[in-house]
Structure 1
Amino acid sequence: MAVTFSDLHTEQGLKTLEEHLAGNSYISGDQLSLDDVKVYAAVLEKPGDGFPNASKWYDSIASHLAKCFPGKAVGVRVGGGVAPSEEAPQTEAPAARADDDGIDLFADETEDERKAAEEREAAKKDTKKPKESGKSSVLLEVKPWDDETDMKKLEEAVRSVQMPGLTWGASKLVPVGYGIKKLTIMMTIVDDLVSVDNLIEDHLTSEPNNEYIQSVDIVAFNKI
């Protein structure tokens, strides 16, 4: 640039720009150039009525940028350099080429905007991720009606109860006395899916399983 403009957000800086544009249509003369876009990006807002030349120049550059980016007069990258913008940041846009002067203009995504976009994506993933429910290991004690109860069929009746979140484990017969044995059996449950109380009342000790099962007690209940 032939002229260096500093502090374009101050009245003195705008005065320097106004004086320069008094004899020029654009920063570097009579043709739009890279310098115009850089200076435009450095001006915080359109100069007021006290700067007619700068105001007319500002409108001209804004109009030119609007042709490349309708509704997006924002910070641009020009020929490898980045011109800062005080306008609201926009997401990155494809390159656009001005019809007459061959300047490539790109909308720049700010660091804050990229960070916000990453946080939104992370939030979406969190909401889509299924919540992991806790599990428990439960030891049940299943008692028959008497010594004539078929314990094999009793165990089959217990294991016949199937539902989401319920997995039956190891079992064994334990002598009680007078020829009577009880069944002890392990099971693993997903806490949010299986209620042990309901399992016992609604399935194990109700028809048809109550033909073999007299009662069921919880011997141990441990969170996994």
Structure 2
Amino acid sequence: MGFGDLKTTAGLQVLNDHLADKSYIEGYVPLQADVAVFEAISSPPPSDLCHTLRWYNHIRSYEKEKASLPGVKKALGKYGPADVEDTTGSGAADSKDDDDIDLFGSDDDKESKEAKKLREECLAQYESKKAKKPALVAK
């Protein structure tokens, strides 16, 4: 993962391809990821890399606020597309596995008897109120 060496034309071309449909390196606002990549570029990119030049000028406008941008600055090799080899040697493969996180809760959890009873009572009250409502008559 990474853009490669951003001091070469090949690395800048990978960055340009990445920024073709994105405004920032990560997310929808400037982050520390943008600052890290910006600092790796030694000079403004050539004008034929229009997406990279647009991004470079935009991040350069945050010169005074760079330290206050949100996010955590990581190694340069952590940013960018996954299919490019990191030739800078600054990033290692991330071996952390996040498959054990259950975002929607487990199906094994059983409702307590009190919660089940309360839910059934609320549904019964709702049904009785709904039954008392007069039906809408079309004109």
Q: Tell me the TM-score range normalised by the shorter chain.
A: 0.3 to 0.5
Higher relative contact order at CA 8 Å, sep ≥6: structure 1 or structure 2? 2
TM-score, with structure 2 as normaliser? 0.47
Bigger radius of gyration among the two = 1
